[in-house]
Amino acid sequence: MKLFADGAFFSQLAQVGEPGYIDGHIGEWLTTPEALEASARVYWNAGFKIHVHCTGDLGVELTLDILEKLQWERPRFRHGFTFEHFGFCTPEQVQRIAALGAHVSANVYYLHELSHIYAEQGIGFERASQMARLGTCVREGVRTTVHSDFTMAPALPLNSAWVAANRINCEGQVMCAEERLSIEQALRTITTDAAHVLGLEHDIGSIRAGKKADFTILDDSPFNAGAEHLNQLNVLGTVFEGRVFMVG
Amino acid sequence: MSIPITVIGGYLGAGKTTLINHLLQQCSDLRLGVLVNDFGEINIDARLIQHHDGQTLALTNGCVCCAIADDLGAALDTLSTADIDQVLIETSGVAHPAKVANYGRTWPGFELGSIVVLVDALTIRTRSRDKYVGKLVLQQLEAADFVLPTKLDLITEGERADLQHWLHQHLPKPCLIEAQDILYAVSDSHQRRVDADPERHAARFCTCTLQASQPLDLTALQQAFASWPSAIIRAKGFIYTHQDPEVRYLLQGVGNRLSLERDQPWGRCPPKTDLVLIWRRDMLDQAEIDALADLLRAERVPSITKFIQ
């Protein structure tokens, strides 16, 4: 079940904490905090996997407060609660996400597309360069995946993995190198950990006896190609439920 | 003729839905077109319902209610073909009323009447300090032409005074109204109600016309407006100014919002200021109106209740 906290990332309507937007505008809530909590509680108690759209750190904060309350009321372990889109957040919030057993599904492509302009307008360099802090997520042990939310980003998983591993924006600048993922971690965000976040880790996400034969055939190993070339690997074909589909 | 829109804003729990239900039930001589987010909230006597399809509810008293769904513009288009006098738009609890009001300003066939923000007397001050919604509720309040405190019966007299004081701290000139004023006073469409029941109107409101043959200073006029009593809920008329003596200006005061627009040249008409004021009878005495008249170097003339068209 997907619920919504704050506004859209592209329109700078994420709810951000102090110092807020540097041009003074305020973000938007898509639901009142009370309504978000009430909905979340219904689905939590019914055993659902809940994903919450959070674009700003204040949206993340509200969602964390709600999750913590729900955990307190009715503890669940493999609940699959996921923070979606995950624009701005603080490292301390990532620690809370880990403590509460939640996952992150980030639209890391926003970093490539928007960080340079957000650094100048509305957000400022510090927070803009650190958006989608996947490095901290992985270090804190949070199960992390990336998505495209097409048409918000190109539906190209290797491209998203490339952004996660390099953090190069469309102006060619590296934005917060400390939050870059290793090649392996970047690949996990589109394979094993993606499967985990979907709750399908028993069936897909890696090549193993007993799992479905769902995988992609590339023209080179990503480890040979190097992080900076992840988005240039060619897809030669796919295998879906054991059937081979070659390109061309 | 453009249909005036009254935007009903305020946070969750302020009483917007209760107000809407109340107005729909009570309305007898004004046809309201009401836009709501969720039909499920409409809770009126089934005998009043004439007709109900997916998106529209028609009442026996001539009122119409539409669900906004995802498209406020389309809902307004539906209403523009209906026979109604005033539109109420119920905003969601997280909405900025000013943004919704922009539809009123720009949508063909409609004009913005006023923005009324409901304020839960019990919780507003605490909410305004909430780390999640504090800024939102303050922005909602700042967008208000009229503030409608609700749940006043749940607070003591002393707390009411505190609330007033708090409102005055946050707003330059909070113009407080009650639920019944939504149909009476916040929109030009109230003229039908006045005509239908002039005694009732007169029991609650006073009107007068101020006329001045000497030109007024625009800046002084704006300053006068900013400080004149908030009990004056409406003001409308033509102004003769010495900054621009050839052209008449249209003044419209709605609660705490003033607009002064260049209108047409006076032409052959002798220029003079002609301003109609409406105020709450119980909140202002004649002496204060006389003082205002003096300030504007205007004369009070026998009151006429019709606004200049």
Tokens for B31, please give them.
């046809």
**Residues of B with CB below 8 A from A29's CB?**
94, 132-133, 136
Spatial contact of A53 and A97, defined as CB atoms under 8 Å apart? no
The segments of chain A whose pLDDT lies below 70 read none
- Return the pLDDT at B197: 67
**Residues of B with CB below 8 A from A61's CB?**
131-132
Average pLDDT, chain B: 87
What was the ipTM of the complex prediction? 0.88
Verify whether the Cβ–Cβ distance A31 to B11 is below 8 Å: no
pLDDT at B306 over 60: no
Spatial contact of B20 and B14, defined as CB atoms under 8 Å apart? no
- Return the pLDDT at B230: 83
Q: How far apart are CA A8 and CA A14, in angstroms?
A: 6
Q: Give residue B78's Cα distance to chain centre.
A: 23
Spatial contact of B67 and B39, defined as CB atoms under 8 Å apart? yes
Q: How far apart are CA A25 and CA A11, in angstroms?
A: 11
- For residue B192, name the pLDDT band (cuts at 50, 70, 90): low
Q: By three-state DSSP, how is residue B160 classified?
A: helix
- Return the pLDDT at B308: 38
* Preceding peptide of B97 cis, ω within 30°: no
Residue-wise pLDDT for B109-129, tens only, equals: 998 989 999 999 999 999 999
Helices (H) and strands (E) in chain B, counts: 11, 14
Instruction: Please compute the mean of the pLDDT values over residues B16-30 and round it to a whole number.
Output: 88
Residue-wise pLDDT for B202-254, tens only, equals: 778 888 889 988 899 888 888 888 888 888 888 999 999 989 999 999 999 98
Instruction: Please compute the mean of the pLDDT values over residues B81-108 and round it to a whole number.
Output: 91
Cα R_g (chain B), whole angstroms: 20
Tokens for A50, please give them.
């809940």
Amino acid occupying residue A84: E
Helices (H), chain A: 33-45, 57-73, 91-99, 109-120, 125-129, 134-139, 157-166, 183-188, 192-198, 222-225
Q: Which residue do the tokens 């409609």 mark?
A: B110
Amino acid occupying residue A148: S
Verify whether the Cβ–Cβ distance B12 to A58 is below 8 Å: no
**Percent of chain B predicted with pLDDT > 90:** 45
Name A127's Cβ contacts closer than 8 Å, sequence gap at least 6: A16, A88, A118
- Return the pLDDT at B302: 62
pLDDT at B167 over 70: yes
Spatial contact of B150 and B122, defined as CB atoms under 8 Å apart? no
Nearest Cα residue in chain B from A29:
B94
Q: What is the dihedral angle through the alpha carbons of A223, A229, A235, A240, rounded to the nearest 10 degrees?
A: 50
Q: How far apart are CA B303 and CA A66, in angstroms?
A: 58
Facing residues of B254 across strands?
Answer: B234, B257
- Return the pLDDT at A126: 97
Its pTM stands at: 0.89
- Return the pLDDT at B194: 61
Which of A202-216, B56-70, B90-104 has the highest average model confidence (pLDDT)?
A: A202-216
Q: How far is B93 from chain A (nearest CA, A)?
A: 7
